[in-house]
Amino acid sequence: MPPVSVRSEAPEAVQPPPVPAPVARPPPDSVATSERSSWEVLAAALHEEMVPLASSVVVEAIERDRPWVCQGEPTALSARLGGVPEPGAVYRWVWLTGPGSAELHPGPTVQWKAPETPGTYAVRFQVCRDLGGRRVGVLAERLVEIDVRPCGAGERQSQEPLRLTVTQRRQGTFLLQALSQTGARIDSYRWDFGDGTTGTTTEPRVEHSFPLQHLGPHDTRSFTVRVEAFVSQGPPLTAMAFVLTRGSPPNDEPSPVELEVSRWSAQPDGGWRSDVVVRELSPDITWDRVERVTRYWDGGVEVATRKWSEGLHVEERLEQGGFRGYTVVSPAESAPGIKQILDFLYGYDSAGQEVVISWSPYKSDAPPVPPEASEPLPAK
């Protein structure tokens, strides 16, 4: 899903020609002319009308886990917000993927995969409100340009001599692990968890619990974690990652849906299939998207989001909006090194509250066996 590079154009002090039915209203006057033009192009690609709304919400910064990225590799982005939170606001990342098409990812953080073609690419974060139909109110936004470079093996190592991985252990608790790619001896690690607490360890990993007491049942919050690795010689190595925590509904809150999922079964092409049956106890739920989380044995995590009709194959519609269908894990998605795949189906009820159900369509039995490091056998 490579986005299209955005060229910076000088503002033109001309009045736009009259348009009978504009796809999107222009953004606030503080945005440059080239920015206003890209806003309209993006709205047309999303088939919606974007309307600027007055709000005290401010996107203070877009934090990144690295200053630039190699082609074809992922990079993490996280939005830092200020001002008074807007009830019912929706966070999303959007970028162009080609002429007349765009990609959209919900949430305050995103794992953006760089395209294979080097260049400068633009990703936009927006705080929005649904105005009904195809109209979306934009409360705040910020654009970030990402430098994608061609990389050889040495360039990749110099770009990321220290990598920080995040693995969720339980609700609000994560395992953080620093992986050095330089071979240098590291004496200690200093951690800044982004929630006001810090720590120092001699091991490259630490488990940390983030505060959840101020999160509502369906709220999310992002924390920026930084680590410094102090080597015996030279300056410390640094790395950064983002942790996304979610509030959980009370244990006594009844689920608005019934979910039945069969254990995955092997397919002739080498992939896996799981049958899924969803029966809605409330007829007011509208399904929105499927979030696929891939966990690796080395602690890495990747997240991909698709429309729910693309992430699930619906074979039969059931009463009250339920459905019977299946989900597929391709051979590439179940390659060696992958520990488990989790699917999250998101929707909204009539009150705008988020509804989430999840299941696992694949899990490997054991970690891959590393190559033996033994010396070659002597010749007979």
Tell me, yes or no, whether 190 and 216 share the same domain. Answer: yes
Would you state the torsion angle of the CA atoms of residues 30, 87, 173, 259, taken in this order, to the nearest 10 degrees? -120
| Least confident among 109-113, 135-139, 191-195 | 109-113
Tell me, yes or no, whether 359 and 288 share the same domain. Answer: yes
* Domain termination site, one of 206, 222, 246: 246
The alpha carbon of 61 is separated from its chain's Cα centroid by a whole number of angstroms, namely 17
Is 198 within a domain? yes
Tell me, yes or no, whether 114 and 219 share the same domain. Answer: no
Which of helix, strand or coil describes residue 138?
A: strand
Residues 6+ apart with CB under 8 A from 243: 166, 174, 194, 210, 222, 223, 225
Is 14 a residue whose pLDDT tops 70?
A: no
Range of the domain at 38: 33-149
Specify the DSSP element, H or E, that contains 46: helix 33-46
Is 205 within a domain? yes
Is 23 within a domain? no
Q: How far apart are CA 162 and CA 168, in angstroms?
A: 20
Is 223 within a domain? yes
Tell me, yes or no, whether 286 and 312 share the same domain. Answer: yes
Q: How far apart are CA 273 and CA 362, in angstroms?
A: 9
Residues 6+ apart with CB under 8 A from 268: none
Tell me, yes or no, whether 216 and 268 share the same domain. Answer: no
Tell me, yes or no, whether 228 and 280 share the same domain. Answer: no
Is 8 within a domain? no
Residues 6+ apart with CB under 8 A from 373: none
Tell me, yes or no, whether 105 and 207 share the same domain. Answer: no
What count of Cα atoms within 13 Å lies in the side-chain half-sphere of residue 155? Answer: 10
| Least confident among 13-22, 151-160, 337-346 | 13-22
Q: How many CB atoms lie within 10 A of CB 147?
A: 13
pLDDT tens-digit profile of 196-225?
Answer: 899 999 999 899 988 877 766 656 677 889
Tell me, yes or no, whether 267 and 212 share the same domain. Answer: no
Looking at the chain, the whole-number percentage of residues with pLDDT higher than 70 is 76
Number of domains in the chain: 3
Q: What is the mean pLDDT of residues 188-196?
A: 91
* Domain termination site, one of 95, 116, 149: 149
Q: Phi first, then psi: what are they for 158, rounded to 5°?
A: -70, -30
Long-range (24+ apart) CB contacts under 8 A made by 165-169 are 165/241, 165/298, 165/299, 165/300, 165/301, 166/225, 166/241, 166/242, 166/243, 166/299, 166/301, 167/295, 167/299, 167/301, 169/207
Which CATH number covers residue 191?
Answer: 2.60.40.10
Let me know: does 97 contact 54? Beta carbons within 8 Å.
Answer: no
Is 236 a residue whose pLDDT tops 70?
A: yes
Looking at the chain, the whole-number percentage of residues with pLDDT higher than 90 is 12
Is 3 within a domain? no
* Domain termination site, one of 95, 122, 149: 149
Q: How far apart are CA 102 and CA 126, in angstroms?
A: 14
Joined tokens for residue 149: 């470079």
Predicted pLDDT of residue 8: 31
pTM beyond 0.85: the answer is no
Predicted pLDDT of residue 342: 87
Tell me, yes or no, whether 235 and 271 share the same domain. Answer: no
Tell me, yes or no, whether 328 and 286 share the same domain. Answer: yes
Tell me, yes or no, whether 122 and 176 share the same domain. Answer: no
Predicted pLDDT of residue 377: 44
Joined tokens for residue 263: 């254990």
Is 380 within a domain? no
Is 156 within a domain? no
Tell me, yes or no, whether 124 and 42 share the same domain. Answer: yes
Name which residue leads in pLDDT, 120 or 269: 120
Q: Which alpha helices (H) appear in 151-190, and where do they start and end?
A: 153-159
Average pLDDT, the chain: 77
